[in-house]
Amino acid sequence: MKVTISDVAARAGVSIKTVSRVINNEPSVRPATRRKVMDSVEALNYQPNLAARNLAGTRSYTIAFIYDNPNAYYVIDMQNGILDACKARGYELLIHPSNFKSTQVYEELRNLVEHSRVAGLVLTPPFSEQQQVIDTLQSLGVDYVRIISTSAAGGDEENCIMVDDSQAAFDLTQHLLQYGHRRIGFLCGGEEHVSTQGRLDGYKRALQGAGIPLDESLILQGEYSFDSGVQGAKKLLHVDNPPSAIFASNDEMAAGALFAARLMGIAIPEQLSIVGFEDSPFSRQTWPTLTTAHQPNNEIAKCAAALVLSKARSKGAAESAAASKGAGIVRKFTPSLVIRDSSGPAPQSLDLGQQSLVKGAR
């Protein structure tokens, strides 16, 4: 039997109009009454008719998630985190995959905002890192929150959830250095992602801090994909003096690097250590399991959605109350080191042992 607004009102001991005012986040309801109504909503699992609410007034009860990312695990984590925040606040989620490289992308965003009447948008890289995207949204007067690498905020921190890729990459590289590795290859993700540069910067800082000269031949451009990891690892492992460790910019690339090494008969981690980034399911499904940096994408997405919803709901008379709710939202995350089986001490006779394996695999 479907729960109605009348059921909620009866259980809370208030009028239907009061329930409506609470659901619509009107500021004139007393806190004690609001708590009684919300307790009844949760107890009865009441689902408001959002379509009717959107049609009945000027306020929208939908936010949009905009992305262009080949990593399905990342997208799913983001989607689920945003959806959790929406459900908790009585909003719907519009999921909008898009091609960032399309010549029509800015017009597409404009049409989405104007025709879908969204209350706000959650942007993930590379959309969140591009000034023209931000300029387009600001011209439309729509609320947005950007999930970005810390180096991409550019003075817009109030609209950002930041991820400190650089510090996490520094920690991962330092982990390899502590194991005695001195030649560490680095596989870059897509150039359009600011996170790629942040992770590379952390790698470089760790080498510099250890007094190890940077070898540009060990840094390869690529994409955030399994195939890119395979091809990048093959190139690094076929040089005359191959690295004893490889830092891949995400777990999908690291899984590809691991696959390439296994095909070449290189033992992991005895002859080669490999680390990834993000702690996606890829990191736990490989053999051996991957050392990585845990990036809590689900929690990051929840915070981003909570922030954009607090902005959308703070307009008008409810501004002070809703703004105070958003003030406590975590706005910066630093992925944490997760040590698993793919990293270990540098081999004692790297040049002779590993080079013979690599040359024999050519």
Q: 88 and 148: one domain? A: yes
Q: At what angle do helices 131-140 and 105-116 cross, to 10 degrees?
A: 30
Considering the domain boundaries, does residue 53 fall inside one? no
Preceding amide of 213 cis, omega within 30: no
Q: Is residue 137 included in any domain, yes or no? A: yes
**Same structural domain, 156 and 187:** no
Would you state the pLDDT for residue 44?
85
Q: Give pLDDT, residue 267.
A: 96
CA angle 31, 60, 55 (to 5 degrees): 110
- Which tokens sit at 55? 């049609």
For residue 255, the enclosing domain spans: 165-295+338-360
Same domain, 185 and 282: yes
Q: How many residues does the chain have?
A: 362
DSSP string for residues in 25-76: T-TTS-HHHHHHHHHHHHHHT----HHHHHHHSS---EEEEEE--S-HHHHH
Beta carbons of 286 and 242 less than 8 angstroms apart: no
Give the residue among 219, 218, 222, 267 at the shortest CA–CA distance from 241: 218
Strand partners, 93: 63
In a domain, 291, yes or no: yes
- Let me know: does 220 contact 186? Beta carbons within 8 Å: yes
CB 319 within 8 A of CB 217: no
**Domain check: are 317 and 278 in the same one?**
no
- In the prediction, which pLDDT does 191 show? 86
Burial zone of 22 (CB within 10 Å; 0-12 exposed, 13-18 middle, 19+ buried): buried
Residues in the chain with pLDDT values less than 50: 50-58, 316-326, 350-362
Within a domain: residue 32? Answer: yes
* Shared-domain flag, residues 123 and 158: yes
Measured over the CA atoms of residue 150, residue 151, residue 152 and residue 155, the dihedral's sign is positive
The H-assigned helical ranges of 97-212 are 105-116, 131-140, 165-178, 194-209
Tell me what pLDDT residue 317 has: 39
Residue 272 maps to a domain: yes
30: domain CATH number is 1.10.260.40
In a domain, 55, yes or no: no
Burial of residue 167 (CB within 10 Å: 0-12, 13-18, 19+) is: middle
**Same domain, yes or no, for 146 and 81?**
yes
- What pLDDT sits at residue 323? 41
17 and 94 assigned to the same domain: no
For residue range 228-265, what is the model confidence (pLDDT) as tens digits? 999 999 999 998 899 999 999 999 999 999 999 999 99
Say how many domains are in the chain. 3
Q: Are residues 234 and 92 in the same domain?
A: no
- Both 69 and 118 in one domain: the answer is yes
Does residue 236 sit within a domain?
A: yes
Question: Quick one: 71 and 129 in the same domain?
Answer: yes
Please check whether residues 213 and 351 belong to one and the same domain: yes
CATH of the domain at 84: 3.40.50.2300
Q: For strand 160-163 and strand 143-149, is the pairing parallel, antiparallel, or unpaired?
A: parallel
CB 292 within 8 A of CB 283: yes
Q: Are residues 110 and 130 in the same domain?
A: yes
Q: How far is CA 137 from CA 56, 145, 303, 312, 331, in A?
A: 25, 11, 20, 14, 21
